[in-house]
Structure 1
Amino acid sequence: MTPTEIQIREQARDWFITLRDNPSRAQRAACDQWRQSNPVHDEAYRAVEAVWQATAAPGKRLAEKESDALAVYLTAIKQEKRHQRARRWLVSACACCALVLAGVLWLENPYWMQDVTASYVASKGERRDITLADGSRVLLDADSAFDVDVTPQGRRVHLLRGAAFFDVTPSQTPFVVATAAGDVRVLGTQFDVRMMDNAALVTLAKGSVAVTAGGSVTPILLKPGQQVWFSASGTHAPVSVNVADEMAWREGRYVFYRARLADVVREVERYRPGRILIPSSALANQTVTGSFLLVDSEAALASLQASVGFQMRKVTERLVILSP
C-alpha cells in the first residue's frame, strides 16, 4: 500500500468517527465534499463503514459489550494532536482489529473457548460418530460438544451444548449424562439428549433412563417412546412421542410439531456458517410445525418464512436477521 493510500484510509477513519459524534451540518457537508472529490475517497470511507456494520452494529450484544471501550477510544481520538499521528494510527488500528476479531468470533464460533476444553466437538454442518472407551457410541449433532470421563467407578458425559444420541453399552458401572439443566442416569439404553436454552429434552428409544433436575431427589423414570423436558426448576411430566420423528436428525432431517420458531431456527443455524438473530421475542415464540432437510439451510429458512411470514435480511453472508 502506497503512502497516499494510507493517508486516504486514515482520513476516511477520521471522517467516519467525526460523523458518529453529533456532527454539525458543516462537517457533514465537508465530508460529502471530500468523498465526492475522488472515487478512492468514497471507496475508503465505504470500507471503514462496512467494517463497522459487519462487526459492531448487527450484533446488539457485541455492541453493548464493547460500547464503553469504544466511547473511550473515540474520546481519545478527538483529543489527539496533529503531531501524534503515528500513535493515533496505532490506537485506531488496534481498536479496529479488536472489533473485527470480536465480530468474527461472535459470527463464526462464539463457543471457541468451550471447544478448546471439550473432549469432543462437532463443527457446524457436521454430525460426528464417536466410540467411548467403554464401547458406548455417541452420535454428536452439528455445533455440539461434550466432555467425557470414563473410569472403572463411573461413566460420565457432560453435554456442554447441542444434542447427542447415546447407545450405551450395558454395564453395572453407572452411565450419567450431565447437562446444565440436570442429569440423565442409565445402565444400558438408547436415548437422545438435546439442550434448549436453559432446559434440556430427553427422548428414550430403548431401555430406561432416570432424569433428575431442579434439586429433586426423586428421579423421573422414562419408558421407551417417552420424552421429558427438564430444567434447573424441575421436570415436566413425560409424554409419548413418535421416536422416529424426534430422532430424524440422525438421518439428516429435522421434524418439529408446534415448536418455538427460535428453537427451530437454532437447529437450522447448526448447519450453516454464521448466526441467525430474532430480536423480536414475539416472533421467536411463535409456534411452527413441519420438517426440512438439514443439509439445505436456505430451503429450510425459506420454508419457515413462507409458514410464519417473517422478514429476512442478510446483513452479511454470515449474519441473517429475522423480523416480523
Structure 2
Amino acid sequence: MVHDRKKFDVDIGLSNAAIDWVVKLSSERATLDDHAQFNLWRQQSNEHELAALEAESLWHGIGATERRTHKAQRNGRFTRRAILGVSLIGATGLAFQRVGFFGPRLYADYVTSTAQQKTVRLDDGSTVVMNGNSAFSTELNRRERRIFLFEGQALFQVAKDASRPFIVEANGGETRAVGTEFDIDIRPRQVVITVSEGIVDVSSGVRTTEADGHSVRAHANQRVTYRPDSAPSAPEEIDADVETAWRRGKLIFNAKPLGDVVTALSRYRSGKILIADNQLSSLEVTGVFDLAQPETVLETIEKTLPVSVTRMPFVTILR
C-alpha cells in the first residue's frame, strides 16, 4: 500500500506516537480506559488529530484479515475460526493478496514462503528457480507447456522442445520461449521479464500476434515490462547477471526506485513494508546487499535517503 502523506503533513514524533497508540488499541488486551486515553491524546491539538488520522489510515490499509492471519502464523497453526473468516471474506468478493497460503496460492502447485528459494524440476526437463513469496502451477501436454505464475518471481531454464512452446502467463501477459533462460518478476504496477539466454516473445492485454505489433521480442541481456492493460515496452539493454543476483544470495540495486526496492525486500523479511508518501517511491537506491541480512537495506535507506523508518511487530513504515 502507498499512502499520500501530503494531506496529513504530520510531525514525525507525533506520527510515531500515534502509531504506537493504534497498535496498542488493536490488541485484544486494550481496555476502555486505553481508548479513553487515546481520545484525550488526540484532542490535545490539530496536529495530534492529524497524526491519529494518519496512523488509523495506515493501519486500516494493512487489512484486518492479514493481521489475523499473521497472528495465526505466529501461533504455528491456522484455527478453524481464522480459516472461516478468510473464506467468508472471499465469498463476499473482497480481494486480498499474500494472506498465508490463501488467495492465488490456493491454486498453485508450488509455493515458497518469505526468504525461501526453491528449485523445481518439471516433467519436460525444464527447471524453475523460485524466489521468496512466489507461487505457480503447470499445465504440460502434447501441444504446449504452460506455466501460470500467480505471484512473486521465478527464473525459468527451458528445455528445448520445438514442438511444444513454453509459455508463462503472469498478470495478464504471456512470455513465450522454445529453449532459453529468463526471469519473470511480478511487481505491484508491472511485470518485468529479464532474458539471460536465448529469445522470448512477450505479449500482454488482449492476446495478440507479432504481426499486429503488440508482441515484443527480447534477446539475452534485455528487459521488457508490461501491464495487463497495455502493450509490452520496447526491449531495454540490461545486465541480466545483476537483475538475477538473487539466485546468488545478493540484491543489487543500481539507481532502482524505492518502490521496486521495497517489493524486492518484502520477499526476504517478515511483515509488511508500507511507503507513506507517494513521492518517496521514486527515490533511487544503489547498493549491493546480502539476502541473509535484509535489514541492512532498510538501514542504508534510512542513512542515505530523506526517509524515516518506523518498525513495528509486523509492519514497517517508510516516510
Partner of 2:24: none
Q: Choose the corresponding residue for 2:238, options 215, 218, 241.
A: 241
Q: Choose the corresponding residue for 1:268, options 262, 265, 268.
A: 265
Q: Deviations over 1:63-111 (max 9, x none)?
A: 6999xxxxxxxxxxxxxxxxxxxxxxxxxxx9xxx89xx9xxx998466
Contact 2:118/2:131 (<8 A) preserved = yes
**Residue 17 (structure 1) shift:** 5.3
- Structure 2 gaps of 5+ residues are 1-27, 44-54, 67-80, 90-95
Paired letter, 1:319: V
Contact 2:175/2:200 (<8 A) preserved = yes
- What SS class does the counterpart of residue 234 from structure 1 fall into? coil
- What SS class does the counterpart of residue 312 from structure 2 fall into? strand
Structure having the higher Rg: 1
- 5 Å matches for 1:1-324? 13-16=31-34, 59-62=59-62, 109=99, 112-171=102-161, 172-215=163-206, 216-218=208-210, 219-232=215-228, 233-316=230-313, 318-323=314-319
Contact 2:105/2:150 (<8 A) preserved = no
Give the count of matched residue pairs: 249
Paired letter, 2:315: L
Tell me, in whole angstroms, the C-alpha distance in 2 between the residues paired with 1:234 and 1:208: 18
**Residue 294 (structure 1) shift:** 1.4
- The CA RMSD over aligned residues, in Å, is 3.3
Partner of 1:52: none
More contact order relative to length (CA 8 Å, sep ≥ 6): 2
Tell me, in whole angstroms, the C-alpha distance in 2 between the residues paired with 1:148 and 1:64: 32
Tell me, in whole angstroms, the C-alpha distance in 1 between the residues paired with 2:128 and 2:136: 10
Q: TM-score scaled to structure 2, two decimals? A: 0.69
Paired letter, 1:130: V
- Structure 1 gaps of 5+ residues are 1-9, 26-54, 67-93
Q: Deviations over 1:262-283 (max 9, x none)?
A: 1101211111111111121111
| Cα 1:173–1:15 shift into 2, 3 Å | same
Contact 2:104/2:151 (<8 A) preserved = no
| Cα 1:214–1:109 shift into 2, 3 Å | closer
Q: Give the % identical residues.
A: 27
Structure holding more helix per residue = 1
